[in-house]
Amino acid sequence: MFHDNNVNRCIHCSVKDCKYHNGDENYCTLDSINVASHEKNPTDESCVDCRSFECRNSGMMS
């Protein structure tokens, strides 16, 4: 569920291109997120992704 720009201080996020990033602070605005791995046997942080990510600019015309 989307928090409508309310800060969720339990989810830290620095991905400013995400639709759910709070513009003023490094937090997410969602109530919860989905985290998954794109690797069968993840061994470090680069193997893990936030599956709740949506591009801030998706659907916008250039």
Sequence-distant contacts of 30-37: CB under 8 A, at least 24 apart: 30/1, 30/2, 30/3, 31/1, 31/2, 31/3, 32/1
Domain extent listing, the chain: 8-50
How would you write the pLDDT of the chain (62 residues) with one tens digit per residue?
555 558 999 999 999 999 999 988 999 999 999 999 999 999 999 999 999 999 998 765 54
Q: Which two tokens stand for residue 3?
A: 């928090």
pLDDT at position 60 is: 57
Task: Classify the phi-psi angles of 59: left when phi > 0, otherwise alpha if psi is within -120 to 50, otherwise beta.
Answer: left
pLDDT at position 24 is: 84
